[in-house]
Amino acid sequence: MNWLSDEAVARLRSAGAEPEFAGTRYQLIERIGSGGMGSVYLAEDATLGRRVALKILDVPDSAGDLAARLQREAHILASLEHPGIVPVHDAGMLADGRVFYAMKFVEGERLDRFAEHEGTLPARLRIFQRICETVAFAHTRGVLHRDLKPENIMTGPFGEVLVMDWGVAKILRANWISTTAETAREQSRDSSGTLTAVSSRTPLKTAHGAVLGTPGYMAPEQARGDVEHLDERADIYSLGAILQFLIEASEPATQTAPRALTAIARKAMDADPAARYASASELGQDIARHLDGLPVLAYPENVLQKIARWAARYRLAIVLVLTYLVVRALLIFWFRR
């Protein structure tokens, strides 16, 4: 066969792109996404009879850096057991040489798409609080996400909020490794050296000057490639940008957002890292205070604003008292006539 028709070329393309699951427990269903490192496929885990998502490199990585990055992402996810972080079930290499990891298949939609059609501002703020809690948890485990944005947040139909795509995460401390990763490392020793590039004690370093992240959601110090000095406050900047996105997405153009809320976003996105919130928890707590009608750290109020906020918070009680007073006054007036 000397000539390949367009259809044959398309078939070969598909055959070349399709991961080879021979010898594994997975059966391919469909490709559901694509990113910088590889693609995500929906597959059936034949052993356990459930659907899983598989993140797989698009081509075998002979240089090893992408493979190491994907394996590292799997180890980070495995070490971060939290309801807001997708659990990893398996990791390895396919027969075609492509590295992969299997994770829970999350049915839902990305936050940016969710925000297009759903939710009041308070509902979105509650989602944002969950994101802050997840990021705060990762920070306590010494992991910096570095690419927080609405596209990397999944919202599920039963209220799940998951922070995804930890592919460019930075390890802040050497003791981040969980027992899961340790176990994997030990097992790899038993498998006669088949393990490649899984160096869980030597985190993959990002070169100084390398810019990883997304413009618009990246802290200024991150955009400058100041990799060595990045800390939790870079993620707090990104959280501020997500908050800003949620405020703007939920409010009609004619309606202005609450000042306290925009002040929270501004504080989180301050160009000076020292002026931002000290932690993601602190940021989440300020959102909680706003939702409860309490004063927030980011916005010092004058007396009138305090009264207005107090009036808004106790609106029902105030209306009831005023109604009672008006009715009573009318009754007094009526009987004295």
Contacting positions for another protein (CB under 8 A): 1-9, 11-18, 20, 22-25, 31, 33-36, 39, 46-47, 58-60, 62-63, 66, 71, 90-97, 99-100, 188, 191, 193-196, 198
Choose among 269, 75, 233, 35: nearest CA to 144: 233
Can you give the C-alpha Rg of the chain in angstroms? 26
- Write down the catalytic residue from 147, 165, 270, 286: 147
98 or 139: whose CB is closer to another protein?
Answer: 98
Beta strands in 22-172 (DSSP E): 26-34, 38-45, 50-57, 88-93, 99-104, 109-110, 143-144, 153-155, 161-163, 170-171
Measured CA to CA, the distance from residue 292 to residue 133 in angstroms comes to 17
Give me the phi and psi of 120, to 5 degrees please. Answer: -80, 170
For the chain, the 3-state helix, strand and coil shares in percent, each to the nearest 5, are: 45, 15, 40
CB of 266 vs another protein, minimal distance in Å: 32
Active site residue 147: yes
113 or 315: whose CB is closer to another protein?
Answer: 113
| CB 70 within 8 Å of CB 55 | yes
CB of 246 vs another protein, minimal distance in Å: 23
Give me the phi and psi of 102, to 5 degrees please. Answer: -105, 140
Looking at the chain, how many residues does it have?
337
71 or 129: whose CB is closer to another protein?
Answer: 71
CB of 3 vs another protein, minimal distance in Å: 5
13 or 259: whose CB is closer to another protein?
Answer: 13
Catalytic positions are: 147
